[in-house]
Amino acid sequence: MDWGFFAGTAIAGLLAGLMYALVAIGFVLIYKTSGVLNFAQGAMVLFAALTFVSLHEAGLAFWLAFLITLAAMIVLGILVEAFILRPLVNQPPITLFMATLGLSYVVEGTAQLMWGTQVHALDLGIKDTPLPIPDILVSRFDLFCASVASTLVVVLTLLFRYTRLGLAFRAAAEDQYAALNTGLRLPVIWAAVWAVAGFVALVTGLLWGARTGVQFSLSLVVLKSFPVLVLGGFDSIPGAIVGGLLIGLTETLAEVYIGPYVGGGIDEWIAYAVALVFLLIRPTGLFGQRSVERA
Amino acid sequence: MSIVRFLALAGLATALAGSLTPSSAKAQNSVPQQQYFPLQSYRVGPYAAGGTGFFGGFIDYMTLINARDGGVNGVKLTWDECETQYIVERGVECYERMKNHVPPPSAWNPLSVGIAYAMIPGITADKVPLITIDHGRTDSTDGAVFPYVFPLLMNPYSESSAIINFIATRVGGPDKLVGKSIVVLYHGSPYGKETIPIYQLLSKKFGFKLEQIEVPDPGTEQESQWLQIRRIHPDYVVLRGWGVMNPVALKTAQDTGFPADHIIGNVWSNSEEDARPAGDAAKGYIALTTQATGTQYTVIRQIVKIVYGAGRGDMADKSRIGSVYYNLGVVNGILNVEAVRIAQAKFGDHTLTGPEMQWGFEHLDLDPGRVAQLGATGLFHSIDVTCADHEGHGFVTFQQWNGSSWHRISDWIAPDWALLRPIIVASANKYAAENGITPRDCSKPQFAAN
Amino acid sequence: MARSPAQPAANAFAPFTLALAIGIALGFVPSDYLFDAVLTPFLAISLAGLGLNLLAGYAGQVSLGSAAFMAIGAFGTYNLLLRVPGLPLLAAIVIAGLLTAALGLVFGLPSLRLRGFYLAIATLAAQFVVQWALDTFNWFSGGDTSGVVEAPPLMIVSLAINTSVRRYLFCLAVVAFLTAVAIRLANSRIGREFLAVRDNETAARILGVKVLSTKLFACVVSSFYIGVAGTLWAFLYLRTIEPDGFDLDRSFEILFVIIIGGLASIRGAFLGAAFIVVLPLVLSRLGDAIFGATFDSGLVDIVEKIILGVLIIAFLRAEPEGLSALFTRVRILLPSQAFSRSS
């Protein structure tokens, strides 16, 4: 056994896992506070990345393009709250889920209508070459992504734990009626949390977009994050990170060491299989708090 | 259920049915003689970049023929677009919608393997040619079994053979391939898998070591695949990708320290949209193509002058004129229009039927001299389609990405047709046997036999 | 889950009569296009929706793997016809359906422990594993390296099913028969047990319902229906069998069908399928007619997509119980004898 190669594979897997976790965090934020599995998260990633890259290509400075895109994502959050969440309050989760599917059509369509269907390159200015460690290859870019993802988790955790807004988020997550009774305005909270999810989508879009090019396929990265959600729990941010690391690790190791014997391409489903087996043993995920029996 | 209610439903249904019935005979009277091309285009969705370029080039060339020559010998070219998003059933719906058009469709050009497959039984019954330029099922090259299917210029087997021939020139001759190591990284789809046996055959013939590794669709994450490649440490990697898989492959190659100029892309990994998003990682990347890029060819210059000069061009972004997909669309336009011209020489200068068009495609012989007359020298090499060979002996060339555009780095290279022919015939005959088709006898003159 | 009651039996025949009525109407508007591109896919999708509705609407288990089971049905039928000479078409369809049901049982096991979104995501495992297997092992496609195969010519005894109308009628017959069975099932003791398990497992158990076997039975029946739907889709509509056509988008589409149509409603599957299959076509026609001359087709298509999304959201807001509930409401509002049932 070539341990250097094994270590390199493991590290690459863990770093890839953080990229999945990044997408998963967007889901967790919204699920935690409004109980919606937001399928449109992928469309939001696409929308944010396309908007940013188009503005940037039009000559705007990085920070200005970033701020304008962020403002657009906040507006989107407010619109979603007003036109989808509020009217559909108290509907079963599956109805809300379908509504976000409809939303993903609208957001994807709007993104393409505004910015066209071309493929854009996105250069964040980070050299994507491996660190010079013999035998073990670690991509600088992946390290950068990993640090951004970690920072994001820390910031979000602090936000949830120590700010008034975070307290409101948690109250809304615990019990919507109790939150209403104590005078919290759920619409504002929901709009805020969608705006934060929009921010996460923007960051995700920039990092993934720099890897894959900014194009329609960005909206497909959500598929990679579902097993992460199952493993980590739908409502836990640390769970998303740990789940992401586990999924990235097993997926990469399985593909490299088992894939060649069964025709390859197993990383398409191995993550789901792992998540499934895990769920059968521990149905709430690693960090999930709610009873899974809740449908 | 009461009668009244039933009638109400039936009435509603009739109205609905009426609203969905295809409108035919559109604009039929205003133009006395026309040749109609139904276009199953895709301008949105994951593959929109390819679709807008290809169909843009195709439409611009037809507009040029109408504007410059008043059509083909006085017969105007007309077309309708129907959006497929590259989804099979949408393509099939478009086919059903447009197939009864008056005048009849001249040829179908879906630029999608899946849609093409689904249409083969239908178009064979309708007797209208199906053009799958640079792709399609390889065995449809055997026109004896597939009279109406034309994988023009290049089929997937020829492509694989040409890539290996090119690698041979890079390592100093075919005999130097012995002991070399090549990895084929393919898209996890029917398209990606089609060439697995042919690379095995080539590996046996030339004696190089071969590993074939799958990237599951869509291919946004390829860390594990490139780690395997790193362990194998091959001399060359053949990239048989599609869509987002390509830039990610180039990026990940850089991540894992594999040099871009030892990655050879196939025909669906060869566009600006495949290389540009990878940024610096794509510099030096080499890809096969059947048509060169650039705007320096007479025909493209005429399109810019006559079509865009009059504000009638199809491309929203004019900077994409001369790109890989655009030029492929133009070449595809040339091949379709020349088939019309050749068929007109036999059947007369009027609206041609499907079988007449089939005859035209089956006698599509454009030697380099004719290609020069068409103003396309250097754009593509030549084509010679016959009853037995629906590919037409296409030559390919290789281009290298310099960070912003493609540059040709090889001569026109021929695949090893003699090696591939028996496999193609065997596969076609198996298809014929399974589907109860009696192959035509291509040694006899063909027409109206079908 | 929505706690909508099961529809009474006679109601469920309404969409059917609608389908029949469309069929008759087509006598006046002769067009292959309607059969080949609208009605046949409508019936296949309806049947898949019906199958999913038995599982999700009645038994309360949401699945995102429907397309995988359609694929199993389609490839099952293909392989049976290929490898068992002389096997009649109908027998092949039924056996392939049973095969799908058996696999449905396996993939249904997680439902014993999971519910809600966790179960839904778990069913994605089925979706990806099946697609991967069909893609990777070309044995399933008869050794064809490309993995895409044409449907063989179809025969019932000596009648070739080779025209649009015959294909449509064959679909109609199969779907009609299976719908009748589903109606009986939904109104039987088993159907009520499904609902009991959906609404409250503990209460169901107290009442003597065998929860585990009821859940698994729902998986089996549902998979059978979806498998047959897959065969209809591949053999009678597309006439090509390829794994790519049974991707995740198809699973979502089927889920859409039952949400839009109405959960726990037989006719909901038909209404939802009509919405999902026919509405995009109507939109695309309208788009072409109104904007086709001025804008390129891509732009029109993007706008259509946005409109479809808006319609879905608007629809969920206006009628969260689905089209089926809307129908019921319309009937209540209309006192006219014309719309009352003779029963």
B298-341 pLDDT per residue, tens:
999 999 999 999 999 999 889 999 999 999 999 999 999 999 99
Domain count, chain C: 1
List CB contacts (< 8 A) between A264 and chain C.
Answer: 136
Judged by CB atoms closer than 8 Å, whether chains meet at B224 and A259 is answered as yes
Residue C133 domain-assigned?
A: yes
| Residue-number span of the structural domain to which A149 is assigned | 7-223
Q: Is the pLDDT of residue B72 over 90?
A: yes
- Give phi and psi for B172, each to the nearest 5: 100, 30
Q: pLDDT grade, residue C9 (50/70/90)?
A: very low
What are B's interface residues with A at a Cβ cutoff of 8 A? 43-46, 48-49, 52, 188, 212-218, 220-221, 223-225, 227-228, 230-231, 243-244, 247-248, 251, 254-257, 273, 276-281, 316-317
Residue B406 near residue B158 (C-beta atoms within 8 A): no
ipTM of the complex: 0.84
| pLDDT confidence of residue C292 | 63
Nearest CA in chain C to A40: C309
Residue C210 domain-assigned?
A: yes
Residue type at C206 in one-letter notation:
I
CB pairs under 8 A between B and C: 158
Residue B152 near residue B290 (C-beta atoms within 8 A): no
Judged by CB atoms closer than 8 Å, whether chains meet at B14 and C29 is answered as yes
**pLDDT tens-digit profile of B11-70?**
555 555 555 555 444 444 455 789 999 999 998 877 888 899 999 999 999 999 999 999
Pairing, β B34-41 against β B76-83: parallel
Residue A124 domain-assigned?
A: yes
Average pLDDT value for residue range B381-399:
93
Cα–Cα distance for residue pair C152/A164, rounded to 1 Å: 66
Cα–Cα distance for residue pair C209/C190, rounded to 1 Å: 9
Judged by CB atoms closer than 8 Å, whether chains meet at A211 and B251 is answered as yes
Pairing, β B365-366 against β B383-384: antiparallel
Residue B221 near residue A224 (C-beta atoms within 8 A): yes
Cα–Cα distance for residue pair A265/A246, rounded to 1 Å: 19
**What are the distances in angstroms from CA C306 to CA A95, A102, A104, B213, C292?**
19, 9, 9, 38, 17
> Mind telling me how many Å the CA of C253 is from chain A's nearest CA?
10
Tell whether A260 is within 8 A of chain C (Cβ).
Answer: no
Query: What are the boundaries of each domain within chain B?
Result: 34-154+294-395+424-434, 156-289
Judged by CB atoms closer than 8 Å, whether chains meet at B273 and A119 is answered as yes
| pLDDT confidence of residue C339 | 44
What the block records as the tokens of A181 is: 């009774």
| Residue-number span of the structural domain to which C40 is assigned | 10-245
**pLDDT tens-digit profile of B203-262?**
999 999 999 999 987 888 888 899 889 889 999 999 999 988 999 999 999 888 899 999
| pLDDT confidence of residue B25 | 42
Averages of pLDDT over runs of 10 residues in chain A (295 residues) are: 81 88 90 86 94 93 94 93 86 84 92 86 79 74 87 87 84 76 80 91 92 84 84 84 90 86 78 81 65 39
List CB contacts (< 8 A) between C110 and chain A.
Answer: 276, 279-280
Residue A152 domain-assigned?
A: yes
B34-154+294-395+424-434 and B156-289 share one fold? yes
Cα–Cα distance for residue pair A141/B255, rounded to 1 Å: 8
Query: How large a percentage of chain C has pLDDT more than 70?
Result: 84
B156-289 in CATH: which number?
3.40.50.2300
Average pLDDT value for residue range C117-144:
82
**pLDDT tens-digit profile of C63-86?**
889 999 999 999 999 999 989 888
Of residues B374 and A131, more confidently modeled: B374
Of residues B6 and C20, more confidently modeled: C20
Judged by CB atoms closer than 8 Å, whether chains meet at A92 and C131 is answered as no
Residue A264 domain-assigned?
A: no
CATH class of B34-154+294-395+424-434: alpha beta
Judged by CB atoms closer than 8 Å, whether chains meet at A272 and C128 is answered as yes
| pLDDT confidence of residue A294 | 34
Cβ-proximal residues to A190 (8 Å cutoff; 6+ apart), any chain? A33, A34, A81, A85, A86, A172
| pLDDT confidence of residue C10 | 46
List CB contacts (< 8 A) between C121 and chain A.
Answer: 226-227, 229-230, 272, 275
Q: Is the pLDDT of residue C27 over 70?
A: no
Largest Cα–Cα distance of chain B, in whole Å? 84
Tell me if the bond preceding B218 is cis, omega within 30° of 0: yes
> Mind telling me how many Å the CA of B46 is from chain A's nearest CA?
5
List CB contacts (< 8 A) between B45 and chain A.
Answer: 117, 216
List CB contacts (< 8 A) between C116 and chain A.
Answer: 93, 292-295
Average pLDDT of chain C to the nearest whole number:
82
Chain A neighbours (≥3 Cβ pairs under 8 A) are B, C
Q: In chain B, positions 184-223, which contact chain C (CB-CB < 8 Å)? A: 188-191, 193-194, 196-197, 214, 216
Domain count, chain A: 1
**pLDDT tens-digit profile of B83-100?**
888 888 889 989 988 998
List CB contacts (< 8 A) between C146 and chain B.
Answer: 113, 117, 137, 190-191, 193-194
Tell whether A27 is within 8 A of chain C (Cβ).
Answer: no
Question: Of B97-111, C133-147, C253-267, which has the strongest mean pLDDT?
Answer: B97-111
| pLDDT confidence of residue B4 | 52
Tell whether A234 is within 8 A of chain C (Cβ).
Answer: yes
Residue A247 domain-assigned?
A: no
Q: Is the pLDDT of residue C3 over 60?
A: no
Residue C81 near residue C232 (C-beta atoms within 8 A): no
3-state secondary structure of C342: coil
Average pLDDT value for residue range C26-55:
83
Nearest CA in chain B to C339: B5
Residue type at B15 in one-letter notation:
A
**What are the distances in angstroms from CA B16 to CA B11, B82, C82, C339?**
9, 21, 39, 20
| pLDDT confidence of residue C247 | 86
**Optimal mutation site among B42, B255, B270, B324, interface A, most CBs of chain A within 10 A:** B255
Residue A201 domain-assigned?
A: yes
